[in-house]
Structure 1
């Protein structure tokens, strides 16, 4: 029985260990040629390696969730186990989101700057972007370990987002809304600072960033208007 369970656990660790081997190989290979490459090349490789590292950490957390999620504990220790699994689930989500953000920037930057000179770098960025996106989809299934009674609504439902939100209890909704409320104001502030930063960049470098500034303005308009409309009482 124990050998069977041990074999299952080992199989669960195959993915993170395989990713770790790829990471170490890529890192050693890059460090061997770092002085011979351009700054742009090194930055893109560093971004890809960082993204891979985030996916490795996320995959390890995901395995920990699966292992701890099926442990049999006493009634006194059950709450602590569920709390641990929930924290590990959110850690998995966070690291996958970081990987997705890094891979997105790396993919876009690489495609714009080095697609003709270093196509392999762009290809790796695309692969990491796809892997990160799939990770975002897969981590949603970890909720069955942290919250066994939680059921995901049908993804094909036209009201999927509403059904998903209604699936959470009042405490979870409060935490979500509190976090989103803070995020709203931080996002407004950061977009304004970014707009001013692009303005000064355009002035000092004489390279117009007008399209980016207009895009930021449109995003600000959408965010603030949508937020205000969502608070407006309905008839």
Structure 2
């Protein structure tokens, strides 16, 4: 576990990039690490786009995983993932449902949580079952990837062993969509760019702003109500 936490400290330089997905990426320029794109199946058949980074050798290795809606294809981001992998890990960057190349409908964080779909849980358990994995999964990331980790912890995937998060929160109403109780629609119009189908983001915004008060809709996305279920070691 100490080794996983140490590797996560390398992530302070891995900030979210606005780079867009390109049709053909140049080869990864990092000796000793192999990059691979996969589509990870969820329990309802939807597949999430993910990039895996493997160190040299036969493995198996522990896995470090980040969930985000932002692009995973910037040169700096790819090299940071490769740097982590070179220390003896498989590193996985996966995009939220409906973002970038991931299938399904973009609904923000909602399908990562403790509802019927639980995408974060399914990614962790898929990674744990692979022949190149030791079954020990650690997670990392800031902001959007931190929220994803808090939601993931509530679902208690059996193979999640530790988490490392920066600059994030627990309640999307108080700390995201309605900071200080004031709606900020212009802030979220730009999310059309990360949504695989931009109309999905506009539909989601309409749904958000039909709930101007903290009601059951927002309670369903508030991890602070579930501290009793968050039982994995975490640096936050």
Q: TM-score w.r.t. structure 2 length?
A: 0.30
Structure with bigger strand share is 2
Q: Which has the higher contact order (CA 8 A, sep 6+)?
A: 2
Structure with bigger helix share is 1
Name which one, 1 or 2, has greater alpha-carbon Rg: 1
